[in-house]
Amino acid sequence: MLEPYSNNILKRVVKTPKVYFYDTGLVCYLARWTSADTTMTGAQSGNIYENFIVSEILKSHLEDGKLYPIEIKMTGNPTKSMGKHFSALKDIPNKEVQPGIILCQYDRKTYLTEDMIALPIEYI
């Protein structure tokens, strides 16, 4: 479960946490999406994509008390505006904020700004 983050404390309380599965295959089975085409192009394809990325990050990375702002997009055309909320993390005391990452379907590592990088999902 991933709790929402916002500078606005009221928004943090009101917003619903996101629930992620470690196994996207199980998600597809439970939702009765029996083909890869349905999973890739269906109405929930972005959610499945995000779930996959989050589960892979949790399985393979230890964050050492540092904050890694990540935005997950199913696009092949990342823009710096996709990370516009990353700056909110700088207000958290005693945490070192790392460069922001837009995980997407772009074909190569690209700097969108000096502290924001677009990365293909292969990097996770």
Average pLDDT along the chain = 86
Domain boundary among 60, 85, 108: 60
Q: Are 123 and 72 part of one and the same domain?
A: yes
pLDDT digits (tens, 9 = 90+) for 44-76: 888 888 888 888 887 766 667 788 899 999 999
The verdict on 2 and 54 lying in the same domain is yes
Handedness of CA 18, 22, 23, 29 (dihedral sign): negative
56 and 68 in a single domain? The answer is no
76 and 119, same domain (yes or no): yes
**Res 36 pLDDT > 80:** yes
Residues 22 and 37 in one domain: yes
My answer on whether 111 and 75 are in the same domain is yes
pTM greater than 0.75: no
Number of domains into which the chain is organized: 2
pLDDT of residue 119: 96
| 42 and 54 co-located in one domain | yes
pLDDT (tens digit, 9 = 90+) per residue, 13-27?
A: 788 888 888 888 888
The domain of 37 spans 1-60
Q: Is 70 found in the same domain as 17?
A: no
